Amino acid sequence: MSGLDRQIEGYETVKVWLNGLREQSGVDPANDPSRLKLLEEFCRFVDLNPDEVLKACLLEKPGRDTKISIKGRRLMAEKIADFQAAAEGLSARERAGRGNTVRSFLIHNGILLQSGTQV
């Protein structure tokens, strides 16, 4: 675990996410800086940088194709649920929005996560 060692926008996985938002969703992330702030908060919460968050969801074995790790994806879904629950003083809808932002980051980087139970 290394946490953040540069501006959040400098990570390749964040660039992929922001480009995906622009191209697929027609959203200009520059108009909503809260997305980057929330992803940064999540990264600090799990003590991983964005690239490590994605890598934690993958299963890499030498000489084999990289696959999505069921265990890694499940663990990250649990971390997202914990992140939502830790947001004291927010409504259930606001907490869900925090989780959805992190899930959006993962989805645009090829890791499908469903929202599950909202807390």
Is residue 47 included in any domain, yes or no? yes
Determine, yes or no, domain membership for 119: no
Q: Is 114 part of any domain?
A: no
In a domain, 116, yes or no: no
Range of the domain at 62: 8-108
CA angle 119, 96, 6 (to 5 degrees): 115
Query: For residue 33, is it within any domain?
Result: yes
For the whole model, what pTM was predicted? Answer: 0.88
Flag whether pLDDT at 118 surpasses 70.
no
d(CA 9, CA 11): 6
Angle at which helices 70-85 and 34-46 pack, to 10 degrees? 110
Residue 94 resides in a domain: yes
pLDDT in tens, 95-111: 999 999 999 999 999 99
Residue 16 domain-assigned?
yes
What whole-number distance in Å separates Cα of residue 6 and Cα of residue 69? 27
CA distance 42 to 48: 9
Q: What is the mean pLDDT of residues 74-84?
A: 96
Question: In the chain, how many domains are there?
Answer: 1
Which residues, at least 6 apart from 117, have a Cβ–Cβ distance to it below 8 Å?
A: 81
Q: How confident is the model at residue 93 (pLDDT cuts 50, 70, 90)?
A: very high
